[in-house]
Structure 1
Amino acid sequence: MTKPESAGYDYDVVISGGGLAGSAAAILLARRGVRVALLERRSDPEAYKALCTHSIQFSADPVLDELGLLPALEKAGAVRSGARWYTRWGWIEPKEAPDGPGLPYSWNVRRSTLDPLLRSRAEQTPGVDLLLGHQVTGLVRDAGRTVGVRASTPQGEREIRARLVVGADGKDSAVAKHAGVAARQYENARFAYLAHFRDLPLHGGISHTWFLEPDMAYTFPNDDGVTVIAVVPDKKRLPAFREDLEGSFLAFVRALPEAPPIDAAERISKITGFVDYPLHSRKPAAPGVALIGDAALTGDPLWGVGCGWALQSAQWLTEAVAAAAAGRGDLDKSLALYARRHRRRLQGHQYLAADFATGRPFNPVERLMFSAAARDDAVARHMHRFANRLFGPLRFLNPVAVARAAAVNLKHRGPTAPPAHLSRTGS
């Protein structure tokens, strides 16, 4: 076990949660000389999060590179995937510009592959102690700030003191709860179910998303020839799914425009999902506490942003607090810097996601941009970069982009009948 060097502290940082955010933060902090205890409540080192989109957006690629994971992902069979999106105006299919840079892509890899890989890397990093079977039950406080955690362990209760406690423990974060960091909640008018299929051919071998207003669906090709299919309907469909989950799931997928041929594929998992999944936002920092991943911000699963934002927030925290966490700076100022960066990078995305989670149809601006993207390669590329969270809503809706979309649509005037799928759903 790493020996403490600072009087009064067992570690510089205690991280609660050994998933993507926590493991990434542990690795990045330890590489900067920070002594880290990584607490994971589950005792199995191969444990993973099952309910996930199993996709990492391109915005997190620099983090994967810094972690040294890109060769390992390639070796594990992760799929570097493009995307196409169905709308009432047809398919949006981003294509590379003839003389421009390549398109961004997502890394699609199952969490059963990714989580143990990253957690193992954390355990092997000098300066990190991975403590399995440790669950935070409370915080240690001194003079109004957090200075450690209390945890249940296989050997009984334990107190671990540190300059900084990091909550990487998901949307129902125990660290946030014990620190008194309240969550702002946004209701979600949709529910979701997903399943894994093997040997399911997809057009172009890439990810697909269906915007059916208000219903949604997506497919992500993953490692080992497995494809994730998710349906994300409006809650008005919930009674039918409760009555016959498998029949409703399969019927929904079969009715999709250019539906993936699920009847010719092998389903290798149960159909799992959630009925109620509100979006949460919390202040990312408090005295002696930082929140990363879903503990700080839980997005709408239909956008597939959780894995990427978990990794990015771990990197942002590390860059802001590493020196102070090791006793070489002002921790409160460093935490404030992290909180500002987190809000600046993600607040706009979360605002749009929460608004769309109401189940409303596209608003006028969305109709403008989506319809133009289905008709124009440049607008499609612009949307693709935004969908990979490479920039925020203000840049997405900059005057030049909006003007181009308007010009594109002026060339395509005329009524567009809703697709048959929308007519059948009554949306």
Structure 2
Amino acid sequence: MSSTLFIVVVVIVAALVFDFTNGFHDSSNAMASSVATGALAPRRAVLLAAVLNVVGACLSTEVARTISHGLFDDALIQAAPEMVLAGLAGAILWNLLTWLFGLPSSSSHALFGGLIGAVMVATGSQGVHWGTVLSKVMLPALLAPCVAGATAALATWLAYRLARPTSRLSQSVFRSGQRVSASMVALAHGTSDGQKTMGVITLVLVAGGYQAPGSGPYWWVIAAAGLAIGLGTYSGGWRIMRTMGRGLVHIESPQGFAADTSSTVAILASSHLGFALSTTHICTGSILGSGIGRGTSVRWSTFTKMGAAWLVTLPCAGVVGALTSFIAVAGGVAGTVAVILLLLCGALLIIRQASHHRVDFSNVNDADEVVVGRRTDPELVRKPRTVDQVKSELAGEADHSRRVPEKETAA
């Protein structure tokens, strides 16, 4: 096996690993609100999101073309395809770190930051098409969350004034609608984030001389990227789902329906235009807007932490990408192996730290905060439960809700 083929294979594997982390990191985008309101059971929600992510990833390739042929100079990347691996290393580590803290940061910006840092170290600033970065990445990142948030706020305000959402019939209708709207967010997420890995793999295939410049992703690239993000979504990403569903605003079904619908429209429109934006930013803006539209309290301290993570995602991932690019490009095959080992060590350390206080489908709604250190607050560190225990608790809550009206009538 030649050194170029070895690097291409390694980059493809790393890209699929990133796609997996993207899936579990962003699964909360589609399903956090429906899980928080009880419209969908947690495990059923992530299974549905996983399937629809795979379907969505196969519907369009506009975003993939933006990444593979629009952001960077293909001719310069062909001289050192190792830089793509370096960029992926920065993105993967940032995704895992923000998952550890339960912060819904942007996987997209982590990827772009890692790649930009890696390309700049290896080829200089001329390797990046800054005009495309500004028009396809930065401006949509600023505008899309604001538009989605304003739309969700208006839709929520109308729902609470026109639809009598407190009635039992309206609650049932909104929950049913939320199942549909959450499914559409998952489908839209696949059309956006699923394509980013396709673009990276296509980029390295062109750089290695295994694909013609300007061509779209191969069918097997589309299938592999869709499957990877689907499997990642099914794994849950429960730590971030707790923050999105419980830590920002208290969500009711009308809010969730309004937020999901707004997010779907914004994501699908952006994907059609080839904007490589962050679905996390859009969905967070929609949830925040729904809280404002309802007039409920917003946990601004949580949003401040999320906003800080948004601001530092691209530069931090860029620094890691730059460092690993220097190692990989200067060291050749040995440098590439060193980057792989550093990536594995960093990932294992983060996963080990997360295991101290595990969050999964059984305890995702038990608290508003994600614990990282060794704290003993029982509300925050409740042990995960089995599927049977969760079912019995849900059955008990349902029986209690049926008995309450009977007691009130008797009184």
In terms of fraction of residues, the more helix-rich structure is: 2
Give the number of the structure with larger relative contact order, counting CA–CA contacts within 8 Å between residues 6 or more apart: 2
Instruction: Report the TM-score when normalising by structure 1.
Output: 0.31
Determine which structure has the larger strand proportion and give its number: 1
- Using structure 2 for the length normalisation, give the TM-score: 0.31
